[in-house]
Structure 1
Amino acid sequence: MSTPTDDEGLGLVSSGGAAGPGNAGPRRRKKRRWPLRLLITLLVVVVVAAAAGGLYALSIDRSVSQNIKRADNLPPDEPTAPGQSPRPKKDTDDKSLNFVLMGSDSRDPSKMQDNGRSDTLMIMHLDSDRKGAYIVSFPRDMYVDIPGKGKNKINAAYSFGGPQLAVATLEQLTGTRMDHVAQVNFEGFISLTETLGGVTVQNKHAFKSHGYSYPKGKITIQGEEALWFVRERHHLPNGDLDRSANQRKVVQAIMAKGLSSDTIRNPMKFNSFVSGVAKDVTVDNKLTNSDIRNTALSLRLSPSDIKQIQAPISGFDNVSGVGSIDVVDETKMKALGKALKNDKLADYVEKYGE
């Protein structure tokens, strides 16, 4: 008995063979062309996807370039301040990123342009694998050594020497090199809550401010309501510490929603978000449009991957000529700086909390 050919095994019959159970007669074998058609279809899909991806990237670049501002006087070009030790070095294989965010919650948007005090000072750390982000805030009354100026509140560094001295102070305090700097019009940044349709935060203390009520627990806020949530400190039990915590919460919520997969998959919504960020941010000249786009699209974050950390303090005091201060917890600060430098903030949070 002969062995069936491959075609016969597939239920096909060569010319001259039986046509099947009914023996309907011979029929010509048809060549199967679906593999070629499938290949062509896949190639078309790949080309279209690549083109769409390219257009998406271009639209993001355009959203950034048409709105963002850059300043020659921002670090990291020449951030060394008088009296500062040499800048901390960064390992060449370290792909983590440290962004200094400096902003003002003042209604006067020019305050950050005339060497006024920085009311908001944060480091945003992105892990090397882009799977974790950490927002570290520094209370404005934290009493630190300002290079060349002696001890003072950390928010005075900007007043004494602009963004260069503010960054120099952070680098000296943490022993960690800062990669980029962004000056943020905080009032405009908070308006992103409207672009995103509101953001949800966990409110620790119930309070009221300027006609708005903020109950304890999960609340969704946007616009003016969100702005007063991050401004208020007088009606909070821990004053500026609680305000700093609320600022971190809102920044975290904006990042989580703005960089979520749902937003990124929606080109119109994501471009609107990117444009909104760019309008209210001034960055250093080394932070290019492609850097911003590539960093944003490289993130693999869920809301739980964005952590908040308050720079550690051990208590409060009053210093003549300076006023009330937050005393730095030197042990924890050393640990925080080491974690920042070694890209190990997850270990810090596990040991000390947020």
Structure 2
Amino acid sequence: MRESDFPFFDEEADPSTEEPRPPRRKTKTRRALFIALASVLVLILAIGGVIGYYFSRVDGALGKVEQADLMPLPYEGQPEVTKTPAVNVLVVGADKNDNGSDGRSDVLMVAHISGDRNSVYLVSFPRDLWVDVPANEYHRGGKAKINAAYSWGRTPMAVQTVEQLTQVGIDHTAEINFGGFMGLTEHLGGVTVNNKYASTVREYTYPKGEITIQGEEALAYVRQRYGLPNGDLDRAERQRAVLVAIFNKSVQPETLGNPAKFGELIDAAATSVTVDRTLPSSEVKGLVYGLKIRERSQIHSLQAPITGFGTSSDGQSIALVDEAGMAELSAALRDDKMAEYVAKHPS
């Protein structure tokens, strides 16, 4: 046996007569390095496992999103969908009653997802907007409130009505059970919004300023119209504000850091949304995973332009379309220039 077989001892020492000396510093360094590398490996595997869990839960939830025939059949004069990488999604609020049938549809907005996936623009269309609604078996065609389109022809007619108004092709449609979606506020333990106007509806009172709402209280908040100075315009603004607040709290550490809570949240969201059949599950996942939205400031809230209010020939209170303003908004949606539009019209 050679002395070199005992690397932990001094080379000049006689192992039969001297006590072994402590390991060399080089050996200690190697051992410490090994421990550090092992710890890093364990950490990477742990993080990988957590990330894998989150991706698995998201994939599972997205697989539960219902699909239905929500897009209109091809029709004469139908505008083409945008040729930019941007995506325009018509979001329709369609509550489900206890018996499963469609209830009121107070929510109508276009969600414009920018081509670079860095921004989302929520554009509300006031329910009293006086527009041309296509003819069908329930309506001979002509002027009516925009929310009548859903009543007479459900989501496909709402899509056609918005397309004809804006001359912007709608890429996809998402129908939200808005009552169910407000249930997300309970999973989140409430969401905080800045309430512009103090108001009361049913047993709920909403003071001016920051308030935290959830569940039925949140649903009453986004449905209130009377008692607000701008009526339906204020209601639509509340709807957008609560949707943004839901997203904002969903990406906070207290939500993302709680796997069980996160899983319940995305499952509830998935079961509250129905998308059109032209949007396959793979494309839904592509849109979700491709989004680069990390903070509230990347979501912009605005309203389709109007010139004011009026009364129809049959005595209905209506909102009047700002034709020039609508043309400008439409061009921004079509050409993926919403950032420029918002900069020009910050309010």
**Structure 2 length as normaliser, TM-score?**
0.81
Equivalent pair of 2:91/2:109 in contact (CA under 8 Å)? yes
Q: SS at the partner of 1:295?
A: helix
For residues 150 and 128 of structure 1, do their structure 2 counterparts lie closer, same or farther at Cα, with a shift above 3 Å needed? same
Q: In the aligned structure 1, how far is the partner of 2:105 from the partner of 2:185?
A: 22
Shift, 1:138, TM fit: 0.6
Mind listing any 5+ residue stretches in structure 2 that lack a counterpart? 1-9, 13-19, 136-140
Deviates more, 1:294-303 or 1:250-259: 294-303
Deviates more, 1:202-211 or 1:80-89: 80-89
Q: In the aligned structure 2, how far is the partner of 1:50 from the partner of 1:189?
A: 31
What residue number does 1:343 align with? 336
What residue number does 1:20 align with? none
Equivalent pair of 1:61/1:289 in contact (CA under 8 Å)? no
Amino acid across the alignment from 2:325: K
Q: In the aligned structure 2, how far is the partner of 1:15 from the partner of 1:177?
A: 83
What residue number does 2:212 align with? 220
Shift, 1:240, TM fit: 1.2
Amino acid across the alignment from 1:254: I
* 1:143-292 alignment runs, 5 A limit: 143-148=130-135, 149-260=141-252, 262-292=254-284
Amino acid across the alignment from 2:169: R
Shift, 1:54, TM fit: 2.9
Fraction of identical pairs, as percent: 44
For residues 340 and 266 of structure 1, do their structure 2 counterparts lie closer, same or farther at Cα, with a shift above 3 Å needed? farther
Q: In the aligned structure 1, how far is the partner of 2:167 from the partner of 2:37?
A: 55
Q: Deviations over 1:293-330 (max 9, x none)?
A: 44334333212222210111001121224722111111
For residues 41 and 128 of structure 1, do their structure 2 counterparts lie closer, same or farther at Cα, with a shift above 3 Å needed? farther
Matched, 1:118 2:105: yes
Q: Deviations over 1:95-133 (max 9, x none)?
A: x32221111468667553xxx763210111222333322
Shift, 1:254, TM fit: 1.1
For residues 313 and 33 of structure 1, do their structure 2 counterparts lie closer, same or farther at Cα, with a shift above 3 Å needed? same
Mind listing any 5+ residue stretches in structure 1 that lack a counterpart? 1-13, 17-23
Matched, 1:69 2:59: no
Amino acid across the alignment from 2:163: E
* 1:34-49 alignment runs, 5 A limit: 45-49=43-47
Matched, 1:312 2:305: yes
What residue number does 1:141 align with? 128
What residue number does 2:15 align with? none
Q: Deviations over 1:233-279 (max 9, x none)?
A: 11112211111111111111112222445533433222221111112
Shift, 1:159, TM fit: 2.7
Equivalent pair of 1:15/1:28 in contact (CA under 8 Å)? no
Q: Deviations over 1:324-350 (max 9, x none)?
A: 211111122112112222222222122
2:295 is aligned, of 302, 327, 337, to: 302
How large is the Cα RMSD of the aligned pairs? 3.1
What residue number does 1:60 align with? 58
Equivalent pair of 2:78/2:163 in contact (CA under 8 Å)? no
Equivalent pair of 1:57/1:293 in contact (CA under 8 Å)? no
Q: Deviations over 1:8-67 (max 9, x none)?
A: xxxxxx967xxxxxxx99x9895647767766665565455444433321222223334x
Q: In the aligned structure 1, how far is the partner of 2:76 from the partner of 2:227?
A: 39
**Structure 1 length as normaliser, TM-score?**
0.80
2:89 is aligned, of 99, 123, 147, to: 99
Q: In the aligned structure 2, how far is the partner of 1:180 from the partner of 1:266?
A: 32
Q: Deviations over 1:162-184 (max 9, x none)?
A: 22221122223223232221111
For residues 85 and 174 of structure 1, do their structure 2 counterparts lie closer, same or farther at Cα, with a shift above 3 Å needed? same
For residues 28 and 54 of structure 1, do their structure 2 counterparts lie closer, same or farther at Cα, with a shift above 3 Å needed? closer
For residues 348 and 88 of structure 1, do their structure 2 counterparts lie closer, same or farther at Cα, with a shift above 3 Å needed? same
Q: Deviations over 1:152-210 (max 9, x none)?
A: 21112223332222112222322323222111111111111111111111111111100
For residues 105 and 234 of structure 1, do their structure 2 counterparts lie closer, same or farther at Cα, with a shift above 3 Å needed? farther
What residue number does 1:128 align with? 115
